[in-house]
Amino acid sequence: MKKKILDRSKSLIEFIDKSPTPFHVVKSFTEELQKAGYIELYEQDKWDLFSGGKYFVTRNESSLVAFNIGSKAPEESGFKIIGAHTDSPNLRLKPNPVYLKNGYVQLGVEVYGGALLTTWTDRDLSLAGRVILKSSLTKKASKERHSRKKYPIYQGVISRLIAFDRPLLRIPQLAIHLNRSVNEKGLVLNPQNHLPPIFALVDTKTKSKTLLIDLVAKELKCKTEDIISLEMQLYDMQKGTLAGANGEFIFASRLDNLASCHAAMTAMLESPQQDLATQVLVFYDNEEIGSDTAQGGSSPFLKDILERISTTEKKTREALMRGIARSLFISADMAHAVHPNYVEMHDGNHMPMINAGPVIKSHSGQKYATEGASSSQFEQLCKKSKVPVQKFSIRSDLRCGSTIGPITATILGIRTVDIGSPMLSMHSIREMAGSEDQENLIRVFKEFFKPG
């Protein structure tokens, strides 16, 4: 295997492993951007932006926009935007999760997004997320000052990210002896009854009801009474890996859509020269639940930032509209590779293969925002970067999934193309994609960010 492909795959796997939740994705990127000289901006502040400046903004600590201001104003040269999402389907803890049942301590969970539920059984599961804590305003720690920027209204609280990084939970399957027809009928899981993981055995010597909060406090080295709320989700402890006879595959969690986020961020950080156009990355949370949140694809997050970039130096909103009319939005999300055991689930002329390049996704009902012009622009980028390109259209008798592409296109009125690397096991706790496809996608994105 070529060294470049190996390096890219390793870098992707490392990023996925250290980013179990959207909060951790944004934290990982914040660290990378700061290292590369990007300046963090806060939405409540007044911004003084400069040509050639590199900036980033976060919302809810789970969505992020990063941008490099071009040498020509956006109304003259437009925006080059790549978008993806930071969230993946999973199980999330309810506000009062702990309960005792038949001698076990269990945690109540809700399903987030379209998870393949059966894949969450019999796994070594851990917990990660965000904890909101009381903060003493008299403390002058820089971390708290940063938090007050993030929570300007709720002074007195700070957030801390947490990832236990050890197996704490399991959702055990019923033995086949007690469920004889499971292989014929499939495993049917009722989310309320069958998904709560086992956390511990009830122990009369310890306080089982406060077991979770005590563990969190211990992990964060804080007092339990300082913990105001938990936003925690389950994740698989198994690390990502290169796989297949020749290392042609990547097996990992959250490839949808952290592979696209990683490719876009890598391309931007490896394209340091100032462009004429303003380069933008947007990574939204909440795509898997329909994007209708303050930090999701349906929010004005991206539009607000493009407007603030366009209207510096007292320009009017016309500058934003002119800029958008000159722009391209690449909506990057994973695509369905053909599954050899279920070939009939694909249209015969649209069977994307793993490691055969990014897929342009089209749908006449516009579940994908691709149209002729945006598609040809993306094809040109593939051609110039010598990367093969594939096309996908769903079987005409199946319902089509969607992405942030049509949502962003509708809000901004921006030319958009929906693309993504092909994969299998989409929305499983452990997904599968191609190791060469990561490098393929990065090359196309770098071509997009080439100055000119």
Task: Give the interface with Zn ion as residue ranges (CB under 5 A).
Answer: 256-257, 333
Residues 286/292/298/300 CA torsion (nearest 10 deg): -100
- Map residue 196 onto helix, strand or coil: coil
- Angle, vertex CA 245, rays to CA 437 and CA 356, nearest 5: 25
Closest contact distance (angstroms) between CB of 186 and Zn ion is 24
Contact at 8 Å (CB) between 252 and 16?
A: yes
State which residue, 271 or 421, has the beta carbon closest to Zn ion. Answer: 421
DSSP summary character for residue 239: P
State which residue, 73 or 335, has the beta carbon closest to Zn ion. Answer: 335
State which residue, 56 or 283, has the beta carbon closest to Zn ion. Answer: 283
State which residue, 90 or 257, has the beta carbon closest to Zn ion. Answer: 257
Closest contact distance (angstroms) between CB of 420 and Zn ion is 8
Rounded to the nearest 10 degrees, the angle between the axes of helix 255-269 and helix 435-448 is 40
Closest contact distance (angstroms) between CB of 334 and Zn ion is 6
Beta bridge partners of 126: 235
State which residue, 75 or 256, has the beta carbon closest to Zn ion. Answer: 256
Q: How far is CA 408 from the centre of its chain?
A: 16
Structure tokens at 435: 């190791």
Closest contact distance (angstroms) between CB of 426 and Zn ion is 8
Closest contact distance (angstroms) between CB of 181 and Zn ion is 33
State which residue, 256 or 285, has the beta carbon closest to Zn ion. Answer: 256
Structure tokens at 293: 């949140």
Closest contact distance (angstroms) between CB of 255 and Zn ion is 9
Burial class from Cβ neighbours inside 10 Å (0-12, 13-18, 19+) for residue 153 reads exposed
Query: Which residue reads 């992990």 in tokens?
Result: 219
Closest contact distance (angstroms) between CB of 97 and Zn ion is 27
State which residue, 21 or 135, has the beta carbon closest to Zn ion. Answer: 21
In sequence order, which residues have a C-beta less than 8 Å from that of residue 325 and are 6 or more positions away?
A: 78
Query: Which residue reads 């990660």 in tokens?
Result: 128
